[in-house]
Amino acid sequence: MSECIQISFAVCRIGMYTCFRALCCKGPPPARPEYDLVCIGLTGSGKTSLLSKLCSESPNSVVSTTGFSIKAVPFQNAILNVKELGGADNIRKYWSRYYQGSQGVIFVLDSASSEDDLETARNELHSALQHPQLCTLPFLILANHQDKPAARSVQEVCLIKATALCLSCLLTFAAMLESEKIPVVGDMLVILFCNMKPKFFLENRKPISI
C-alpha cells in the first residue's frame, strides 16, 4: 500500500514539475523574419496611402512622399521594412541609388491614369526589371485605384504590357484603397516575399518584348 502511495506521489511531482516548466519556463517566441523591400511608382499612384493603410495609420496623416520614407509593416509571420521612393520626375532618376539591399519590389501604378502616364509607368517598370540589383528579385505589381470609374482592369493593364514584361511568374494584383481589402494585399505581400526565391525568378525570366 505504501509503495502505491509513493508511486502516486512521484507521478504527482512529475506532473507538477511539467506544469511548472510549461507555465514559468517557456522561452520567448522566435523572432519574426524581416525583409527589406523597395516600393516604387509614379506620383499619385497611391504608394503612401497603401503603406499607411497597411500600418493602420489615419488617412488624414497621409502626405505624398517627396524623397523617400521607410515604414516597418508588421505581419503575423514576418516584418516588411518597406522603403518608399517618391515618384516625381526629378526624383525617379535617383531611384537606383536606393535599390541596394532590397529583397523584393513593390511597383504601384494608377490603373485610372492617362495613357501618357501609364506609358511612363511601363517604362519605369521596364527599367526596374532590368536593373542588376533588382532583376532576380520577386516583384509585386499593384494595379491601384480600382475604385475609380476610369480604372482599367488588371487584364487591360496586362494587355497593353504595362506590367507583364519579362517574368513568367510576375504577379499582378488589383488593390483597392478600402480598409477591408488591405489585409488581402498584406497577405499577398507576405506570401510573395517570404516564399519566392531569387533563383526561381532568374531561371524563369523571359526575353523583354516592348
Per the annotation, binding residues for Mg(2+) are 48, 65
Cell of 167: 517574368
Binding residues for GTP: 41-48, 87, 144-147
Residues whose CB falls within 8 Å of the CB of residue 111, separated by 6 or more in sequence, listed in order:
143, 144, 145, 146, 148, 151, 152, 153, 154, 157, 174
Q: How close are the terminal C-alpha atoms of the chain, in Å?
A: 89
CA–CA dist 164, 16 (Å, integer): 61
* Nearest residue to 183 via CA among 104, 96, 74, 105: 74
Strand 79-85 with 34-40, pairing: parallel
